[in-house]
């Protein structure tokens, strides 16, 4: 059974949008039986409650704000874990997805090879994706394909570039150091450290600076400076698209005093200047034939 047959069987009345290359739906508490994605890639974002995802012979409980990704030929099922649970599901054809990745993420060929990705988004990142989807209820049909492209771009960015799939901390690390690193990550997720000087962050913890730097990178794959940059850009995108803040207010909120420097870094990260990113998130009549700049740090 292919994914469209499954969705049509269970969620026929819940589509937000259906088109040639995309379909998007808010799924109510109805189970989605085991099915194989023969011609489609899929993203699902848990928006309420929790779900059980069965994949690769394992059952995973997916909590609110979890984003999962499946490529073609992957088989899985979604079952309700608690009453009144919902997820936002976005599916895109194989041909369009691979062409889109080649155009916008050519430096990341691992995206089309990844069999499964699961990330826990911050509240702000999840709300950002939901805000894009909410616009599907409002615009004309001519705008909706561009909204789909905007959603796909941001979902790929969150899954493979912005949100780091952290590795478990090595068991031979000092217990206090484990706690320090987890505490640091918690503060970054709460955006407490966006305006804080890096030197002041180091002084917060009794471990030496070099030990914190080395073990933080071992745990996340990023330096502390790089990780803070990711979180700054994540929060900036949320403030621009969801809270509709001005560019100067966003730059100030994340601790960057120079608007030009913030704009430069934001464009390096998302491929768009802040005002253009904000404009497209509200009225996304986007010419996606143009190449974006590098998406690396």
Q: DSSP secondary-structure letter at 168?
A: P
> Dihedrals φ, ψ of 120, to 5°?
-95, 110
188 and 284 within one domain: yes
Indicate whether 121 belongs to any domain. yes
pLDDT at 176: 66
Return the CATH number at 222: 1.10.10.60
Query: Which residue, 87, 106, 141, sits at the end of a domain?
Result: 141
Long-range contacts of 248-257 (CB under 8 A, 24+ apart): 250/274, 253/194, 253/195, 254/191, 254/194, 254/195, 255/194, 255/195, 255/196, 256/232
Domain tally, the chain:
2
Exposure letters 17-33 (e unless 16+ CB within 10 A, then b): beeebbbbbbbebeebe
293 and 170 within one domain: yes
Range of the domain at 78: 3-141
Q: Is 228 helix (H, G, I), strand (E, B) or coil?
A: helix
Residues 6 or more apart whose Cβ sits within 8 Å of residue 88:
24, 25, 26, 27, 44, 45, 47, 129, 130, 133
128 and 12 within one domain: yes
pLDDT at 14: 58
pLDDT at 144: 67
218 and 288 within one domain: yes
- Residues in the chain with pLDDT values less than 70: 1-16, 28-31, 136-144, 162-176, 281-297
- Contact, 134 vs 186, CB < 8 A? no
112 and 24 within one domain: yes
264 and 171 within one domain: yes
Indicate whether 150 belongs to any domain. no
286 and 200 within one domain: yes
193 and 279 within one domain: yes
Return the CATH number at 80: 2.60.120.810
125 and 184 within one domain: no
134 and 172 within one domain: no
pLDDT at 143: 59
pLDDT at 37: 75
CA dihedral 36, 81, 165, 210 (to 10 degrees): -170
126 and 208 within one domain: no
pLDDT at 165: 38
pLDDT at 246: 93
Query: Which residue, 79, 107, 141, sits at the end of a domain?
Result: 141
pLDDT per residue as tens digits for the range 19-69: 788 888 877 666 677 888 788 899 999 998 889 888 887 888 899 999 999
Indicate whether 238 belongs to any domain. yes
Say how many C-beta atoms besides its own lie within 10 A of residue 55's C-beta.
18
Model pTM greater than 0.75? no
227 and 102 within one domain: no
Query: Which residue, 141, 172, 191, sits at the end of a domain?
Result: 141
pLDDT per residue as tens digits for the range 169-187: 443 445 667 778 888 887 8
- Contact, 136 vs 16, CB < 8 A? yes
């Amino acid at each position: 059974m292919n994914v469209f047959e499954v969705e049509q069987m269970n969620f026929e009345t819940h589509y937000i949008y259906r088109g040639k290359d995309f379909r998007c739906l808010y799924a109510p508490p109805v189970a989605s039986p085991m099915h194989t994605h023969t011609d489609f890639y899929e993203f699902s974002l848990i928006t309420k409650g929790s779900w059980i995802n069965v994949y690769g012979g394992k059952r995973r409980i997916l909590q609110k704000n979890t984003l999962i990704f499946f490529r073609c030929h992957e088989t899985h099922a979604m079952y309700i874990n608690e009453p009144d649970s919902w997820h936002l599901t976005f599916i895109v054809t194989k041909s369009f997805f691979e062409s889109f990745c080649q155009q916008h993420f050519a430096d990341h060929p691992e995206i089309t090879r990844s069999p499964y990705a699961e990330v826990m988004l911050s509240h702000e990142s999840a709300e950002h994706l939901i805000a894009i989807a909410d616009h599907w209820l409002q615009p004309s049909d001519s705008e909706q394909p561009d909204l789909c492209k905007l959603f796909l771009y941001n979902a790929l960015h969150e899954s493979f570039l912005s949100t780091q799939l952290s590795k478990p901390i090595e068991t031979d690390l000092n217990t206090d150091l484990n706690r320090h690193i987890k505490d640091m990550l918690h503060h970054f997720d709460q955006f407490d450290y966006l305006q804080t000087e890096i030197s002041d962050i180091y002084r917060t913890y009794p471990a030496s600076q070099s030990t914190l730097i080395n073990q933080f990178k071992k745990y996340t794959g990023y330096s502390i400076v790089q990780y803070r940059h990711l979180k700054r850009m994540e929060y900036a995108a949320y403030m621009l698209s969801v809270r509709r803040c001005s560019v100067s207010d966003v730059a100030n909120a994340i601790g960057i005093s120079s608007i030009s420097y913030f704009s430069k870094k934001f464009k390096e990260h998302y491929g768009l200047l802040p005002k253009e990113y904000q404009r497209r998130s509200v009225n996304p009549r986007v010419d996606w034939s143009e190449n974006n700049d590098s998406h690396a740090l």
